[in-house]
Amino acid sequence: MKKVILCKYGEIILKGQNKSKFESMLLKEVRRRADAVGDFKVTYAQSTVKIEPRGDASDGELDEMLDQAKKVFGFAGVTVAAVAEKNMDDILRVAGEYLPSKLEGVKTFKCTAKRSDKAFPLTSPEISAEVGGKILSCVPGIKVDLHTPQVEVRVEVRDSEAYIHAGQEKGAGGNPPGSSGRGLLLLSGGIDSPVAGYMMAKRGMFIDALHFESFPYTSELAREKVFTLAKELTEYTGRIRVHVISLTHIQEVLRDNCDEDYFTLLLRRFMMELAVRVAREFEIPAIITGESLGQVASQTLPALCVTDPVADRPVFRPCIGMDKDEIVAVARKIGTFDTSVLPYEDCCTVFTPRHPRTSPVLEKVVAQEAKVDREALLEDAWATRYSVLFKQFED
Ligand code: ATP
Ligand code: MG
C-alpha cells in the first residue's frame, strides 16, 4: 500500500496575489527537510503539499518525515495518508487495508469526504457513507459519533488519486521561513529569549542571534549552553548564525564610573546599541528580545523607554504580554526548557545593582552615560565579535 504525507496550508490560503511566493518558500523548506530524511518527491496542489517516497519508504522513515513536516511553519495540519485509485472499489479496498490498524482501540469515529473532482460519480456524503460502512464492518466494536468522535477519518478525492487518512495532526502554524524577512535575536541563556526567537521564526522570520558574554565573570559553560539553545532552535529555523560579543570591559568601566543603581539600564543601552551595529552590518531589519513587561526591573515600561531610543529599527518583543508560566509552556513544547534551566550565569547578573532603578528618567540615564567614553567602549566591544553557524542538518 502506497503512503504519502499531506500537509495542509495554514494562513497562506488567505494570501492573494503573493500566494505563489509563499508557496515556493514553503516548498523549499519542505524539500530541505525531505532531502535530509530520505528520497522524497515534494509537490503541491490545491492548498496541500504532498510528500511522496520515491521508493519503498519504511514506516520509520515516513514517521521521521512526518515529525519534520510538523515543524514547518506555514501548515495548519499534517497527516500520513494511504493512496487509492480514483474509483470506489479501490477506495474501499485501501480503507479496509489501511484503517483497521490506525483505528485499533478507537471507540468512536466520523468519516468525512471531500471531492475536488466534481465529475466523480459519488457525492461526498455518499463516499463518507460507503467508507463509514466499510470501517464498521472491519473494525470490531467501533461506533459512529458525528459530534465528538475520537478520530475523524477523511477521504479526499483529488485530481489524479484519492487519499484516506485518520487523525490529522496540528501543523506548526505561522508563515513560511523567510516570508517575513530577518530578525536579530538577543539570545541569553534564559527561558524567554529562545521562546521569543521561536515565535518570530513562526511568523516567517529567518533568525540570526547575538549573545553577550562577560568572561571571566561568565563561563565557558554559559556560552556552551547558549550554543546548545541555538542548535535546539535550528529544529525550527534550519540554521542560526550566533554572533558573540564580550561586555567585560564595558561592565568594568560602568562599575568603576557610574552610580550602581543605573548599571543594568546603562548595560542594556550598550547591548541594544551593539545589536543595532550587528543588525546594520548584516542587513537585518529588526531586533528581537525575550522581554516581558514588568518581569524584572529592566523590563518596566520606563526602563524599556530608556532602552528603545538607541535602536534605529523595530524591536520585537513577542513575550511582552505573556506570563512566565505561559512562556515556560512554550519553552517545554519547543524543547528548550531543560537547557535554559541549567544553572549558568548570564552577563546581566554580573555586578547586579542592589536597588536597580525601576522608573528611570532618560535625561538622568544619559547623564550617567556621559561619565564614560561611550564610543570607545562600543569600539572595544565590537572588536571582540566573532560568530558561529549552527545548522539543523550537516551538509
Ligand atoms: P531570558 O534570559 O530567558 O530571556 P530573563 O528574564 O533572564 O529572560 P533578562 O535577563 O532581563 O531576561 O533579559 C531580557 C532580554 O534581554 C532577554 O530575553 C534577551 O533577549 C536579552 N538578553 C539578556 N541577556 C542577554 C545576553 N547575555 N545576550 C544576549 N541577549 C541577552
Ligand atoms: Mg536572562
Domain map (residue ranges) of the chain? 3-170, 182-391
> What confidence tens digit (pLDDT) does each residue in 315-354 have?
999 999 999 999 999 999 999 999 999 998 887 777 888 8
> What confidence tens digit (pLDDT) does each residue in 79-121 have?
999 999 999 999 999 999 999 999 999 999 999 999 998 899 9
What angle is formed at CA 191 by the lines to CA 188 and CA 196, rounded to 5 degrees?
A: 75
Which pLDDT score, from 0 to 100, does residue 275 have? 98
Pocket residue to mutate for ligand 1, from 187, 191, 192, 227, most atoms within 8 A of Cβ: 192
Q: How far apart are CA 248 and CA 394, in angstroms?
A: 33
Q: How far apart are CA 5 and CA 181, in angstroms?
A: 28
Which pLDDT score, from 0 to 100, does residue 249 have? 96
Which pLDDT score, from 0 to 100, does residue 356 have? 85
Q: What are phi and psi of 25, to 5 degrees?
A: -70, -40
The single residue listed with the C-alpha cell 468525512 is: 112
More confident residue, 297 or 93: 93
Atom of ligand 1 nearest to the CA of 268: 16
Residue 333, C-beta contacts closer than 8 angstroms, at least 6 positions apart: none
Which pLDDT score, from 0 to 100, does residue 108 have? 97
> DSSP letter at 168?
P
> What confidence tens digit (pLDDT) does each residue in 19-34 have?
999 999 999 999 999 9
Pocket residue to mutate for ligand 1, from 186, 292, 339, most atoms within 8 A of Cβ: 186
Measured in Å, residue 188 CA sits from the centre of ligand 1 at 5
Question: Confidence band (pLDDT; 50, 70, 90) for 139?
Answer: very high
Domain 3-170 fold: VC0802-like (3.30.2130)
Mean pLDDT of 190-208: 98
Q: Looking at the predicted structure, is the pLDDT value of residue 16 above 90? A: no
Question: Confidence band (pLDDT; 50, 70, 90) for 57?
Answer: confident
Measured in Å, residue 289 CA sits from the centre of ligand 1 at 7
Q: Which CATH superfamily is domain 182-391 in?
A: HUPs (3.40.50.620)
> What confidence tens digit (pLDDT) does each residue in 144-178 have?
999 999 999 999 999 899 999 998 999 999 999 99
Atom of ligand 1 nearest to the CA of 346: 27
Question: What residue ranges line ligand 1, CB within 6 angstroms?
Answer: 186-188, 190-193, 210-212, 289-291, 295-296, 298-299, 346-348
Three-state secondary structure call for residue 354: coil
Grid cell, residue 262, equals: 543605573
Which pLDDT score, from 0 to 100, does residue 355 have? 85
